């Protein structure tokens, strides 16, 4: 018989109504909380300040736009991320605007991030099947420690990423759902729904945890019709919380673009200012079922591009999979052998909580793998996984504390050792200091003159907006999403050009503008990019900006970078000449997309002239495809696949080519078959 069959609801032991933990366990809370916060502060101090691509390209811009209406003067200033809900980044920008030193800002962020460990402790105490209060507290401490030994979590402590801060809302929702599964009650259910709805509104990737939370309600100790009622209550409260939190920003998006979640779900709302093809970043999504089943074990090995761009070995998911298989085998053996064993585990309510949490985790894991597979978006479930390991392992090894506690400590030691052997590093580490969070030196001319800036490349440098004139405008017109000269994008850009002319400037990475094509940035490249809007650069009017950014050098890191701002002047003839030359490239790249839609998606992005070649950038797969020097090629800079040659340009012009292509293990392959294969 299952431990959940014929089980009547059992009232929890005395203690916090929220966590249903014992009074004895409650005594350990304050020292546990203090220890968790002290550890996160030490880790943050050790790792240093992190000014990542995300921080400079859109985190700071998002926080700035939460306080400043930029819709009238910016257009894709930070690429497609410009229009994601900015409220999750508002606290970061508020701290920076307050003038606090960098170290103090990082310290406050680290304290805030330590709350995720508090919640992990509380979740473990709330669902632990052990009857002894000290054992429950021990399980909670070990669960929090195992959650901390997560390379992804460690890397983000004290950083600008909103993954941890929004994860805390989601994890708090799961703590409340665990109490609902134990003793059904409407108040904690509604509170859990509100927290998960708010987390999803602030960062849509948290929808995974809201879906997993719904699966927990399947194991409510109630008749079917009451389970349905609780499920409807959960969904309605979740939807209302999501709508309320996202409403102010979604209203602006709807008014501007006709899509309240712009640029996401544009295949449904079909705004003309973004692709209407489905948007799905496949960077870490398994390519087949075998890869999906192997993913928990693949994550345990060191290596890049498995579940994060950097190496982040994490053996906890493999251990959890083994524990589940062992428990299933133990249950089958007991069922068929009709054997019973004595245990100090409390059978009804606590076992049901663990089972419900496992069910929710399994659903969240499946949805996560199908939607992103990126571990930065799985932090709440990573903490839940730590709780599941610490609560399930005693059931597998032994119910006696003198056995399972050393085993759990050994498991924690292995995870810590693995993390130590593969050091956790910031993306772009800086030493902490008492200066500002971000140091930028902008010439007085640019700080006061309301220019329209055209930025080139995926590095939008949108963080500079806060340092320029308030009336200045930004357009990142060539990067992850290229803006074309026609259609809705072209009309919006032309309107801004007309509004700001003649105060138009280019903004690009570099200290000078080169005349030759061997170095970047060069006149030929930037003129090729600007030509689509009838502009070209004026090399005689350039100004240098100095800012913090970690650049890898042969002898270490350079902690400053230069950006170049040059005047852009009208050149209508350049647009006409470029449009005529682009037609051939469009034919070739259209045929390439049709021959291999699995790789080149979303279809029909803007063809742009960059680096002396005609190219397209594909958001879903991170691929660059281009035509240059008589050849058709593609390259994935994220996974390092390529450049891969796909035949001469003339062959593609004459007739569409057949391509054998696909994706496996996060890598891409493609080739044009030979005459024998073609037959």
Residue 11 falls within a domain, yes or no?
Answer: no
The helix/strand count (H/E) of the chain reads as 25, 16
CA-angle at 256, arms to 496 and 570, nearest 5°: 15
pLDDT in tens, 534-561: 999 999 999 999 987 655 544 555 567 8
- 541's tokens: 């009017």
Q: What is the band of 347 on the pLDDT scale with cuts at 50, 70, 90?
A: very low
In a domain, 431, yes or no: no
The confidence score (pLDDT) of residue 13 equals 37
608 and 650 both lie in a single domain: yes
Residue 100: partners with Cβ closer than 8 Å, 6 or more residues away: 108, 437
HSE value, Cβ hemisphere, 13 Å, CA-based, for 27: 5
**556 C-beta neighbours (distance < 10 Å), count:** 8
Q: Are residues 416 and 445 in the same domain?
A: no
The answer to whether residue 435 is domain-embedded is no
Is-contact 563 547, C-beta < 8 A?
yes
Instruction: Let me know: does 518 contact 531? Beta carbons within 8 Å.
Output: no
Structure tokens at 163: 């993954």
pTM over 0.95: no
In the chain, the number of structural domains is 3
pLDDT of residue 128: 84
Asked if 286 and 390 sit in the same domain, the reply is yes
Residue 7 pLDDT: 36
Rounded Cα distance between 586 and 5, Å, is 64
171 domain residue, yes or no? yes
pLDDT value for 328: 85
Model confidence at 402, in pLDDT bands (50, 70, 90)?
confident
Q: 50 and 109: one domain?
A: yes
| Nearest of 648, 642, 640 to residue 592 by alpha carbon | 648
Domain-embedded: residue 155: yes
Percentage of residues in the chain having pLDDT higher than 90: 70
453 and 413, same domain (yes or no): no
Contact 33, 111 (CB under 8 A): no
Lowest-confidence region among 398-412, 419-433, 553-567? 553-567
- If asked whether residues 359 and 321 sit together in one domain, one would say yes
Same-domain status, 455 and 312: no
> pLDDT tens for residues 91-122?
999 999 999 999 999 999 999 999 999 999 99
**262-288 pLDDT, tens per residue?**
999 999 999 999 999 999 999 999 999
Span 282-334, pLDDT tens digits: 999 999 999 999 999 999 998 888 999 988 999 999 999 999 998 888 777 77
Is the domain of 559 the same as that of 591? no
666 part of a folded domain: yes
CA distance 624 to 633: 8
Do 609 and 555 fall into the same domain? Answer: no
The answer to whether residue 406 sits within a structural domain is yes
Least confident of 260-274, 347-361, 476-490: 347-361
Query: Are residues 389 and 308 located together in one domain of the fold?
Result: yes
Asked if residue 502 and residue 634 are part of one domain, the reply reads no
pLDDT recorded at residue 557: 56
Mark whether 324 and 381 lie in a shared domain: yes
Which of these, 388, 350, 351, 52, lies nearest to 212 by C-alpha position?
388
Domain's final residue, options 421, 454, 486 = 421
Sign of the alpha-carbon dihedral angle for 56, 533, 565, 626: positive
Three-class DSSP category at 549: strand
Domain boundary among 537, 570, 603: 570
- Residue 614 belongs to domain spanning: 586-678
Task: Give pLDDT, residue 10.
Answer: 36
Q: For 581-630, write each residue's pLDDT tens digit.
A: 899 999 999 999 999 999 999 999 999 998 889 999 999 999 999 999 99
Q: pLDDT tens digit string along 488-545?
A: 999 999 999 999 999 999 999 988 999 988 888 999 999 999 999 999 999 999 999 9
What distance in Å separates the CA atoms of residue 545 and residue 508, rounded to the nearest whole number?
10
Instruction: Identify whether 602 is part of a domain.
Output: yes
Q: Which of 67-71, 152-156, 244-248, 338-342 has the lowest mean pLDDT?
A: 338-342
Q: Choose between 569 and 4: higher pLDDT.
A: 569
- Domain termination residue (choose one: 508, 537, 570): 570
| pLDDT on residue 102 | 93
Whether 14 shows a pLDDT value over 90: the answer reads no
pLDDT at 338: 56
> 3-state DSSP call for residue 182?
helix
CA–CA dist 213, 190 (Å, integer): 12
DSSP calls for 3-41: TTTTPPP-PPPSS-TTT---HHHHTTHHHHHHHHHHHHH
- Can you read off the two tokens belonging to residue 613? 């070649």
């Amino acid at each position: 018989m299952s431990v959940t069959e014929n089980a009547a609801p059992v009232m929890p032991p005395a203690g916090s109504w929220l966590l249903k933990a014992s009074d004895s366990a409650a005594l350990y809370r304050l020292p546990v909380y203090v220890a968790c916060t002290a550890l996160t502060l030490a880790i943050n101090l050790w790792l240093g300040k992190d000014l990542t691509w995300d921080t400079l390209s859109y985190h700071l811009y998002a926080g700035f736009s939460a306080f400043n209406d930029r819709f009238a003067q910016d257009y894709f200033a930070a690429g497609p991320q410009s229009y994601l809900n900015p409220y999750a980044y508002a606290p970061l920008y508020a701290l920076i605007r307050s003038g606090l030193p960098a170290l103090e800002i990082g310290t406050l962020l680290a304290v805030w991030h330590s709350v995720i460990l508090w919640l992990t402790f509380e979740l473990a105490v709330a669902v632990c099947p052990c009857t002894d209060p000290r054992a429950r507290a021990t399980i909670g401490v070990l669960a929090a420690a195992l959650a901390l030994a997560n390379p992804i979590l460690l890397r983000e402590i004290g950083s600008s990423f909103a993954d941890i801060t929004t994860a805390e809302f989601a994890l708090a929702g799961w703590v409340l759902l665990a109490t609902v599964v134990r003793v059904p009650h409407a108040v904690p259910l509604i509170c859990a729904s509100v927290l998960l709805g708010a987390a999803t509104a602030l960062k849509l990737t948290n929808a995974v945890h809201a879906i997993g939370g719904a699966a927990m309600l399947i194991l409510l100790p109630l008749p079917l019709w009451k389970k349905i009622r609780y499920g409807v209550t959960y969904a309605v409260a979740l939807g209302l919380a999501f709508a309320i939190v996202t409403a102010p920003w979604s209203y602006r998006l709807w008014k501007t673009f006709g899509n309240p979640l712009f640029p996401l779900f544009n295949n449904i709302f079909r705004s003309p200012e973004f692709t209407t093809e489905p948007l799905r970043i496949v960077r870490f999504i398994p390519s087949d079922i075998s890869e999906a089943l192997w993913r928990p074990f693949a994550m345990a090995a060191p290596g890049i591009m498995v579940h994060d761009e950097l190496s982040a070995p994490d053996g906890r998911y493999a251990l959890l999979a083994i524990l589940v298989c062992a428990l299933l085998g133990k249950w089958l053996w007991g069922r068929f052998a009709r054997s019973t064993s004595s245990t100090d585990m409390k059978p009804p309510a606590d076992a049901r909580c663990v089972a419900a949490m496992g069910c929710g985790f399994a659903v969240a894991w499946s949805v996560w793998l199908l939607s992103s597979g990126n571990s930065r978006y799985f932090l709440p479930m990573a903490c839940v996984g730590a709780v599941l390991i610490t609560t399930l392992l005693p059931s597998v090894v032994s119910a006696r504390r003198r056995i399972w506690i050393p085993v759990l400590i050994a498991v924690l030691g292995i995870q810590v050792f693995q993390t130590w052997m593969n050091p956790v590093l910031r993306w772009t580490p800086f030493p902490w200091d008492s200066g500002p969070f971000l140091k930028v030196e902008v010439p007085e001319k640019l700080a006061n003159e309301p220019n329209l800036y055209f930025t080139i490349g995926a590095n939008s440098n949108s963080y500079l907006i806060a340092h320029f004139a308030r009336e200045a405008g930004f357009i990142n017109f060539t990067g992850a999403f290229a803006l074309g000269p026609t259609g809705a994008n072209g009309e919006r850009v032309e309107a801004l050009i007309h509004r700001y002319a003649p105060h138009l400037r280019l903004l690009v990475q570099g200290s000078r503008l080169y005349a030759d094509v061997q170095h970047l940035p060069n006149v030929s490249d930037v003129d090729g990019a600007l030509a689509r809007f009838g502009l070209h650069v004026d090399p005689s009017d350039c100004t240098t900006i100095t800012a913090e950014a970690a650049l890898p050098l042969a002898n270490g890191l350079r902690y400053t970078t230069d950006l170049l701002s040059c005047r852009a002047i009208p050149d209508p003839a350049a647009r006409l000449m470029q449009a005529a030359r682009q037609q051939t490239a469009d034919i070739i790249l259209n045929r390439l997309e049709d021959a291999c839609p699995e790789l080149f998606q979303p279809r029909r992005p803007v063809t742009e002239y960059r680096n002396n070649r005609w190219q397209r950038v594909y958001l879903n797969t991170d691929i660059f495809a281009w035509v240059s020097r008589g050849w058709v090629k593609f390259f994935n800079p994220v996974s390092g696949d390529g450049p891969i040659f796909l035949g001469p340009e003339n062959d593609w012009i004459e007739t569409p080519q057949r391509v054998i292509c696909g994706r496996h293990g996060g890598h891409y392959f493609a080739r044009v078959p030979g005459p024998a294969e073609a037959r």
